[in-house]
Amino acid sequence: MNSVSSNEEKTDIYSKEVLISREEINSRVEQLGREISQDYQGRELHLVGVLNGAFMFLADLVRHLSIPCQICFMQASSYKDQQVSTGEVILMHNLDLSGKNVLVVEDIFDTGLTLKHIREDLNMQKPASLEICALLNKRIPDKVAVDVKYIGFEIEDRFVVGYGLDYAEKYRELPHISCLD
C-alpha cells in the first residue's frame, strides 16, 4: 500500500490559473521562428536546447525556422526539485561549437545564473556567434545581467509549469503555462 502525504501530489493542476494559453504560445513561437530565420538568413544555425525544460519549445521553434540548422542539447540544473534556485549550476554536455553560429534555447530566464554559466561555458569554445532565446523572461529584482536576444513572453515573479517547465519533474506535458503558486 502506497500512502500519499505531500501537498504537491494532491495538487489539481487543471484548477490552476492558465497564464499563457496554447494558442498564445503557438503564435509567439511562430513569430520567433520568422524573426530568427530572418536574422540568420544565409547561415547555418546550431540550436542548443537546455534540457529538460526547453525540449517542447525547441521542437516547436525549429519547425518554424526556414534556415538550415542543427540541433543539440545540454543539461543545466540549479533547482533540484525546489521552487527557488539553489544558486549552484551544474552543466553537462559534449558540444563542439567552435566557429559556429549558436543559439541557446532556454525555457525560462529567471535569476540569470544558469544562462550566465551557459554563456561563459559555450564562449570558451569560440563560436562565430552566440545568442540566447528564452520562452519566458521572469521579472525579478537583482537578476544576473545576461543579454537574451529573443524573448517569448515577459511574466511576473510566479512559479510556472507546463510546456516543458516542471516542478519536481511533473507538469511538463501541459500544452500551456500555468501558475503553481
Strands (E), the chain: 18-20, 45-51, 69-77, 90-92, 101-109, 129-138, 150-155, 160-161, 177-179
Is 110 designated active site? yes
Contact between 45 and 69 (Cβ < 8 Å): yes
Residue type for position 99: G
Catalytic residue among 110, 142, 147, 166: 110
CA distances to 9, 23, 53, 112, 127 from 134, in Å: 29, 18, 11, 11, 19
Rounded to whole angstroms, the Cα distance separating 49 from 30 reads 17
**Active-site annotation, residues:** 110
